[in-house]
Chains A and B, each alone.
Chain A
Amino acid sequence: MRRAGVVALNTFREAVRDRVLYNLVFFALLMMAAAVAVGQISIGIEQTVIVSLGLSAISLIGLLISVFIGVALVSKEMDKRTLHALLANPVRRWEFLLGKFAGLVLTLAVNTAAMALGLLLVMIYVKHSLERSDAVVLVAVYFILLKLALIVALALLFSCFTTPLLAILFTVGFYIVGLYVQELRNLPVEVMSPAMTAFTKGLSYLLPNFENFNVMAMAAHGRAVPGALILQNTVYTVVYCTIVLTAAAAVFSRRNLK
């Protein structure tokens, strides 16, 4: 575990040095522009517009980082052969994998927290105050981070057994399908054979379910998120990530390097 921590800190350092956090500048500019625009047009809907826009940007930027850097985490080290010297040290392959995962999640946490702070500042700017109910925005940001952790785990898994390009496609595909898992479960049973029903049902439990992570509408209108959902999403993320990372470790531990 300590060794995974060493890998994680180095992964974070790599992200910082590769200027991943520069996206924050883009986010800051976007939010400033939004704040000015909202101030001019609206009466009463500032909160909704700012929160929706801010959360969407946080989610989208996070998604880009987790898919692209998530896939590169291990594949880049295999491709450039930086892994050769690293694995000659007393570190197991799964420890390396876990460290890479944790390092990127740490990066995403820092990045997301900074964006959340920016969003709160803009909310203060347009409303001249913050209420207790605004804490729901933080819950929404937390859910986004959980979702990103799931995506990083998937990206890692795919990158362990296929090319980076395919891994990116798979990850994005899983994400999109994961947004509609509920629909998959609710497909009209009447028109399908029993086998088909069983298949889609099984598939729907295999796929990540991202629907529960979207509380943007609640956040935009300042409605509270139930504590049970927070717990449920947290547990779901931990369990799902554990399973996916275990599978990734199983594949990666048998893989011949270049």
Chain B
Amino acid sequence: MPGLAIEIENLTKEYPFGFLHLKKKTSLEGLNMQVETGEVFGFIGPNGAGKSTTIKLLMRLIFPTAGSARILGKPISDVEMHRDIGYLPEQPYFYDYLTAAELLDYFARFHDLTAADRKERVERMLKKVGLETARKIQLRKYSKGMLQRVGLAQAILHDPKIVILDEPMSGLDPVGRREVRDIILELKREGKTVMFSTHILSDAEMLCDRVGVIVGGKLRGVGAPGTLVDMKTQGMEILFELRGTSNAPLLSKATRTGDCYRLQVAEEELYAAIDQLRAAGARILSVAQVKATLEEFFTNLVEADGTHTSAVEVSGK
């Protein structure tokens, strides 16, 4: 059994607001969650779910109303443990009067590295995130995507055991997103633990060993992307073509696009449906199993929560 990289216990964050701070908004409610060493853990939830709040609590940028957390077995108040942690903030912003190389060198100075080691690492990281040609340009001239790359570089600069990334793919073009995915997989191969948050499900499905789903400040499920949803077949989908009209009763249940129809039936009704369609003169194009996806699981949760109406971005394209 692998050890635990991150242990979160009953973590709660309330923000007071309103007159005399009498009202409270709960951004995170009693979060209990563990990340195992060596895994890629996806923290998914719609905008405003509490992902950044959790990560900022872990990084001690904000302080909890209740609860505690440990990283690599040590309480998070221990600053020295930051030697082993890399962090990419959400929408990162850095000292705009520095160049990328200077920023990385500045951060590297907080770790016990020799000057030569520092130089070598900075060069290697700039190359890794594709910023060698921009290394001498001040960060004030960087685009959002470039800042995201600098942020990634500084997060992995000191070879940390645990890398925590807050929305690492946001602001990147498809090529950039692909590169981030590659970096995450490379970190995993090197035996690092990666926890990243995202509101884009396909990224999580593609990369993660396990995911935690958070909605409205509450954790709604943790597990491998496959086990989290009920993978039992929910039915069969038939795609067929039908020219002209027909009064087959099944047609009223199908969705039509031009001459093409899509029909979902229960598994045991499949053959009867196909017979009926053949009799009506339809041409069957395909038959496929329908499985619940992470996407549906997620959408259902969000809709049930009611506080978020349209905050789900499914593919992120």
Contact = CB atoms under 8 A, between A and B. Distances in A.
B74 interface: no
A88 B83 contact: no
Contact of A87 (B60, B97, B98, B109): B60
A86 interface: yes
Interface stretch (A77-85, A157-165, A239-247): A77-85
A89 to B, nearest CB: 4
B80 A17 contact: no
Contacts, number: 69
Contacts of B85: 88
Question: Of B60, B81, B85, B95, which is in contact with the most chain A CB atoms at under 10 Å from its CB?
Answer: B95
Contacts of A91: 79, 82, 110
Given A14-B97, A80-B93, A81-B93, A90 B107 contact: no
Interface string A3-21: 1001000100110011000
Contact of A85 (B62, B80, B92, B111): B92
A89 B111 contact: yes
A104 to B, nearest CB: 15
Contacts of A80: 93
Nearest to A92: B79
A87 B59 contact: yes
Nearest to A91: B110
B297 interface: no
Question: Of B83, B86, B97, which is in contact with the most chain A CB atoms at under 10 Å from its CB?
Answer: B97
B154 interface: yes
B279 interface: no
B309 to A, nearest CB: 26
A40 interface: no
Interface string B140-176: 0000000000010011001000000000000000000
A84 B89 contact: yes
B61 A90 contact: no
B218 interface: no
A88 B61 CA distance: 9
Contacts of A88: 59, 82, 85-87, 89, 155
Nearest to B95: A82
Question: Of A80, A88, A90, A257, which is in contact with the most chain B CB atoms at under 10 Å from its CB?
Answer: A88
A132 interface: no
A103 to B, nearest CB: 12
A18 B96 CA distance: 10
Contacts of A14: 95, 97
B97 A90 contact: no
Contact of A89 (B89, B94, B110, B151): B110
Nearest to A87: B61
Interface in A84-133: 84-92
Question: Of A10, A14, A17, A90, which is in contact with the most chain B CB atoms at under 10 Å from its CB?
Answer: A90
B61 A89 contact: no
Contacts of A13: 97-98
B53 to A, nearest CB: 10
A234 to B, nearest CB: 30
B80 to A, nearest CB: 6
Contacts of A81: 89, 91-93
A92 B79 CA distance: 7
B93 A82 contact: yes
Contacts of B82: 88-91
Nearest to B108: A89
B255 to A, nearest CB: 46
30 contacts: A3-B110, A6-B106, A10-B106, A18-B97, A81-B89, A82-B93, A82-B95, A83-B61, A84-B89, A84-B92, A85-B88, A85-B151, A85-B154, A87-B59, A87-B60, A88-B59, A88-B155, A89-B82, A89-B110, A89-B158, A90-B81, A90-B82, A90-B83, A90-B110, A90-B111, A91-B82, A254-B63, A256-B61, A256-B63, A257-B56
Interface of A: 3, 6, 10, 13-14, 17-18, 80-92, 254, 256-257
Given A87-B60, A257-B62, 18 more contacts: A6-B106, A13-B97, A81-B91, A82-B93, A82-B94, A82-B95, A84-B61, A84-B89, A84-B92, A85-B87, A85-B89, A89-B82, A89-B158, A90-B81, A91-B79, A91-B110, A256-B62, A256-B63
